Chain A
Amino acid sequence: NAGVTQTPKFRVLKTGQSMTLLCAQDMNHEYMYWYRQDPGMGLRLIHYSVGEGTTAKGEVPDGYNVSRLKKQNFLLGLESAAPSQTSVYFCASSYSWGGGLDQPQHFGDGTRLSIL
């Protein structure tokens, strides 16, 4: 039972490069989320999706794009990476919004991204 799987686990990019982070879940969850976690800042929501084909902006969406072409996958894209995007990125999924109703969010193991 894989749960939420993120790939890659680590990546180093140069400023201006692009890349896509992949999140896959096998729990048939409707909701998926991308967060970034920085020291002293806690988890901040970048974008989220309430179902296949839908996406919405979270707290810190600038510089990122997302797509949810299939229910089980949620992709996070950086079109032109900047040093300020150096962070640990977490993907999560849940049955209901925010993980309420005793159905918490399930998190992936994170992707550590460094932008030089």
Chain B
Amino acid sequence: EDKVVQSPLSLVVHEGDTVTLNCSYEVTNFRSLLWYKQEKKAPTFLFMLTSSGIEKKSGRLSSILDKKELFSILNITATQTGDSAIYLCAVEASQGGSEKLVFGKGMKLTVNP
């Protein structure tokens, strides 16, 4: 059964800390891994990763994929209170000609001032 596991499920840090979010997966015919940030409402897209070892960066956020060990990490440096959110990891996979997108349970990050 395809699955995506995020850890930790929740984390509380202080402003300025650096955090690392983990996402491991077991899927059939991996195609891509996506990270989303969800604040109060809709998830918003952060990164899409398809190749191992290539880091994607956007400001203080960065992410990298390891297709051999089947995981990805999302790093946030110099955290701010505005980084408080649920971070979702999802993996796009294909099986028998059909496609699927499997989400992890999400990781709740709280950044205190």
Contacts and interface: CB of A to CB of B under 8 A. Distances in A.
Contacts, number: 59
A4 B43 CA distance: 12
A110 B41 contact: yes
A84 B32 CA distance: 32
Contacts of B92: 97-100
Secondary structure dominating the interface of B: strand
Contacts of A33: 101
Contact of A99 (B42, B48, B88, B100): B48
Interface residues of B, number: 22
A90 B103 contact: no
Given A42-B88, A43-B103, A45-B101, A110 B42 contact: yes
Interface in B31-47: 31-32, 34, 36, 41-45
Interface residues of A, number: 24
Interface of A: 4, 33, 35, 40-45, 58-59, 90, 97-100, 102, 104-110
Given A100-B32, A104-B45, 13 more contacts: A40-B105, A42-B103, A43-B103, A45-B101, A58-B100, A90-B43, A98-B101, A99-B34, A100-B48, A104-B36, A104-B48, A105-B101, A106-B45
